[in-house]
Chain A
Amino acid sequence: MKHKWFRKNIIRFIDKDLKDKDKSFFESHILTCEKCKNDYDLVNNIVNWENNKKRIKAPEHLYQRIMNTINSKDIERKPGLPPYYAIKYSFVVILFLSIVVGTIYTNKIFSEKKNYNISSIVSKDYHLSNSHLSNLNIIVSER
């Protein structure tokens, strides 16, 4: 287990990322385990970040190539919002509109139902005459 841990953390040791306790274990293990020491030497020989930092220059003709594409295709620059925001905001607008339309529609249904209930229930269940019914409507409306 400790050999496995050692091998996994060689680069972290090289980069000085290990905590003091792990670092001292690492250092003492190198002295006692021949195999792990060989592994450490191999990796240490390869991992040299500074040597690999050097930059390659971009090709000279690249700028001309880019400008040729821009001029030949007459590429238009996108003004304002990128597509992600357009999709996001259109979704919000659609959601808002559907809530408003839905609320209006359900209100309409319930108000129709309410009217139907008052007139039909009273006339059906109590067999009131038209004059009584109109009097009742007046009382309800006054309240």
Chain B
Amino acid sequence: MKLLENNKKDFSFESIYNEYKDIIYNLCCRYLNNKDEAEDACHDIFIKIYKSIGSFKGESRISTWIYRLTINHCLNCLRRKKIIKFITFENFIEVEKYDNDILNDNFWGEYDKTEQSKLLHKAIEKLPEKQKTALILNKFEDLSYQEIAKVMDTTISSVESLIFRAKQNLSKQLLKYLKK
């Protein structure tokens, strides 16, 4: 296996793949909520990593760079999906059905059979992009506020405020679903 050369370190693509495949795949799943889309996204992210590892300056940790790349790619996928839905008028037909049918099996249902877990992920899905990112990185990936700030290219205090608002919105969202 060829070595991907970097200014300061040498990273082999295989070692990066082995170390980060599950992290990237899980993040894609949490964002996209669909097995096939998560696999496609994961594939594209690794191609991006392969292509641009040479431009990685080594100023931050490689994990920070990979998290940032993954999140940006997933958010782009979600935006593209929204545009396609809007163009094909899927929104108007499905929004109401989607809201009333939140307990239907989604991607997480295949792996985690509890209704609680499905409901939690559905509520997280409804959060604004930045709040969702901060909450996922903090609660599921166990990143500190400082690491999240680096990944999101923002300050620690704004991460704190994002997580604060994310938790408040999540409470409201969950109660809304539970009382339906």
Contact = CB atoms under 8 A, between A and B. Distances in A.
A47 B175 contact: no
Interface in B124-180: 139-140, 142, 164, 167-168, 170-172, 174-175, 178
Interface in B69-127: 111-112, 114, 116-117, 119-121
Bin chain A's interface residue count: 35 or more
A63 B111 CA distance: 22
A88 to B, nearest CB: 13
A63 B46 CA distance: 9
A95 B15 CA distance: 43
Nearest to B2: A77
Interface in A37-72: 39, 42-43, 45-49, 51-59, 62-63, 65-66, 69-70
A4 B178 CA distance: 16
B172 A8 contact: yes
A129 B24 CA distance: 89
A52 B55 contact: no
A113 to B, nearest CB: 50
Bin chain B's interface residue count: 35 or more
B58 interface: no
Contact of A51 (B24, B117, B171): B117
B53 to A, nearest CB: 7
A55 B26 CA distance: 6
A75 interface: yes
B50 A75 contact: yes
Contacts of A7: 171-172, 175
| Most interface-central of B47, B51, B55, B172 (chain A CB within 10 A) | B55
Contact of B25 (A39, A56, A82): A56
A56 B4 CA distance: 27
Contacts of A11: 167-168, 170-171
B10 interface: no
A86 to B, nearest CB: 10
Given A7-B172, A8-B168, A17-B164, 13 more contacts: A12-B168, A43-B178, A47-B120, A48-B116, A49-B139, A51-B114, A52-B117, A56-B111, A58-B24, A58-B42, A62-B21, A66-B17, A75-B51
